[in-house]
Every structure is written in structure tokens, then in C-alpha cells.
Amino acid sequence: MAAPLTQFDVLAIRREFPILQQEVNGKPVAFLDSAASSQKPRAVIDCLEDYYRRYNANVHRGVYKFSEEATFAYERARGKVARFLGAASPRELVFTRNATEAVNLVAHSWGSANLRPGDHILLTLMEHHSNIVPWQMLAARTGAVLDYLSLDGEGRLVLEELDSKLNERTRLVAVTHQSNVLGTINPVQYLAERAHAVDAKLLVDGAQSVPHMPVNVRDLGCDFLVFSGHKMCGPTGIGGLWARRELLEAMPPFLGGGSMIKVVELDHSTYADVPARFEAGTPAIAEAIALGEAVDFLNTVGLEPIRQHERELLGYALERLGELAELTIYGPHDCEQRGAVISFTLQGVHPHDVAAVLDSDGVAVRAGHHCTQPLHRHLAVPATTRASFYIYNTPEEVDRLVAGLAKARKLFA
């Protein structure tokens, strides 16, 4: 069977990731869980170490050399990430711990100030819990009402429902750009147009799209976009919120404390300009700087080649997995409509057992509900096994995945 072509040297890229040089159970590691968290290239690891070895200091607070160097590197990283997302200004980018914190920031700061009893929040059945639970909490605080777009048989949004679910009471539409289970890539530009037609805002969960394809917030037409650094070759503990500047400037702070103020009196305070208003306390300095390094790495490889490589690898994987008669794959069949995430069930074998058998052969996958319990209830399965691909994965690893699944089926037959 022909292996997919690629626009870059995957083996050369793999050499940039020290962890991929290891063996697991005496076999070369095949890491197929990048949808949960990607591996880190040497440049990112070295960047973290360089900060702590050479210029570890707090930012925005000192006039001495270490602090000035740290501040410069921190704000330079903000500029890199903002450009990576197509933002009009670095001031539109707020550093957060991850996408989850960014959603909560919007829910508390924008949502609490703008939603009233009876207002509508429109979500979808494929959302990660991070894009459901904060809105449930907001609805409980404000009296707003949640509604959900349903899915068709291939795991795509039923867009015809927008005619009945979008109305003058809709204040927010929150949707994942790419499902972390189905791989479905949603038509964000169209959703932005429909949301804005009823004067609603659109929040996009970009955790699964920003690392894998070109994402330009101005082209998408969204109002908010959240992402996590650890899924895009960066460190854990850093992510971000992009929002239209006029929205950020109208939003009250999420957290109070140092760094987010202008003047503190005994009975009141005035707040800093954006984005500092939303970055209370000492930030994740090393992590932000290293996220900028990760963006440099991804730009060097190229987002278009990454997307093309993953599309070809996905096509190969779907073809090979299709050889297993007792395997059910969830999500769109068309590689143009999905990202490089494949969730499946193997008849008669629990997903955790599948994952354990694969691990014995050095193949790392994820098993469970993937923080999407409503989606799994819709699919009528308690859990799935998920294989997800990134820039360092190869067709040979797909072959090892298929061989491991055949082994699991034989063991549990």
C-alpha cells in the first residue's frame, strides 16, 4: 500500500524532539496522542532552560538588566503569537494558563456583564467540557439559557438548525474550530456571519486547530478565540485569549491583584490598560517566552505543509483502519472536513484495553470520553480510543497502530 507523500522531511523533524528518540517496552515510541498534548522540540526545551539560567526575573517591574531582558522577551513572545493568529495588535492577546482559563475569562468578564435572564447561549454537541461547563456556570449566575446545535450521522453540525436556534435573544455562539474527538472542522466563518446577523458574539475554541492549520482571526470573523500552548509544541501552563480590542477594553478584570491596576486606593482601584488588566500577578514568564519559540518553530515548518502532511497521513490511516471489519470510526469520511484525529471503537474490546495493548507495542493513544461526555452519549458509546497525529508522525506508525489493533482483537476474541 502506498504511503503518503509529504512536503517536508518528517524524519528530520522527529530528530528535533528528544522524547521521540526513546523506546517504550523495547520498541520505538509512536506518539499518537498530540490532541491531548504535543511533544516539545529541542528549541523550546532549550528556551525554557535559557531563561532560568541566564535572565530569570519578574517582568514589568524592574529597571535592572535581568528584568528588562525578561520583559522584552515576554512581550516579544506576545507579538509573535499575535502575528501567528493574524491579530491586528499584540494588545488583543491575553496570556492565560490554557484554553480552559481563557473561556472562563470570557464567561466571567464578558458574560457576567452582558447576559441577562432569558438570553441565549448557543453551543454544539461536540464541545469539549471546557467549552460547556463555564457557560453552564454563567447561565446559573445570570439566568441565561443554553441551547445546542445537533450533529448529523457523520458528526457534522446540522446548520439548518441555525434558522430556529439563532434569534434576537442569542448573545453568544461558542463552537470548537475542530472537534477533539470527531476531527470535524466547523465552518467558523459562516457561523460568524450568522451570529453577527442577530448581534451575537462568536467564541471559537482553537485548541485543536491553531497547532495544525493556518488560523487568522480576522479572516475567521470571530470575536473571541482561545488556545493552549501545550498542544502546539509549547510548554504547559501557557495559552491565550485573542479578542477584539474594543471588547477587551469594555470588559472588567477576571482576577484582581498586582500588575492589573493603575491606582489602588483604600476603597477602590482603577485598572490597567489591556492586556495587562487580565494578567494579574506574576505571569508564566518562561512559558510565554517558550511559546514564542514554539511559534517560531511552527512558522519555520509552515502551517500549510503541516496541514497537508496531516491530511495525507489521515487519509492513509482511514484507509488502513478501514481494513479492520470490526472497527467503527466516528466523524466525517472526507479528509477535507476533518483534522488528523481518529476516534474509534473495536467490537468486543474496551477502549482502555485497546490502549493497553497498543502501549505494550510502544504505541501511545488516548482512551476514554476525552472530556466530551455529551458527545459520547450522542454517539451511544461510553468511551472511544483516539489516535491523533502531528508533524512528527509517519505512515509506519499508522501501520503499527493497525497491527496493534489486530493484536488486541485477537487477544480479546
Per-position DSSP letters for 300-364, written without gaps between them: HH-HHHHHHHHHHHHHHHHHHHTT-TTEEEES-S-GGGB-SEEEEEETTB-HHHHHHHHHHTTEE
**Amino acid occupying residue 188:** V
Annotated catalytic residues are 371
Mark the ranges of the chain whose per-residue pLDDT is less than 50. 1-2, 4-5
The neighbour count for residue 246, using CB atoms within 10 Å, is: 11
* Amino acid type, 354: V
The CA distance from 27 to 24, in Å, is 5
For the full predicted model, state whether its pTM sits above 0.85.
yes
Using CA atoms, how far apart are residues 19 and 29, in angstroms rounded to an integer?
9
Bridge partner list, 203: 174, 224
State the DSSP code for 145: E
- Model pLDDT for residues 185-243, shown as the tens digit of each residue: 999 999 999 999 999 999 999 999 999 999 999 999 999 999 999 999 999 999 999 99
pLDDT score, position 1: 42
The pLDDT of residue 413 is 75
Q: What CATH code is assigned to 10-31+302-411?
A: 3.90.1150.10
Give CA–CA dist 283/306, Å, rounded: 30
CATH of 46-299, one of 3.30.1360.20, 3.40.980.10, 1.10.1200.10, 3.40.640.10: 3.40.640.10
Q: Is residue 251 classed as helix, strand or coil in its secondary structure?
A: coil
Secondary structure of 350-399 in the HEC alphabet? CHHHHHHHHHHCCEECEEECCCCHHHHHHHCCCCEEEEECCCCCCHHHHH
Cis omega before residue 211 (within 30°)? no
Residues in the chain: 413
Q: What is the pLDDT of residues 92-119, one digit of tens each?
A: 999 999 999 999 999 999 999 999 999 9
User: β-strands 341-346, 145-149: how paired?
Assistant: unpaired
Per-residue pLDDT, 5: 47
Domains of the chain by residue range: 10-31+302-411, 46-299
Q: pLDDT digits over 25-46, tens only?
A: 999 999 999 999 999 999 999 9
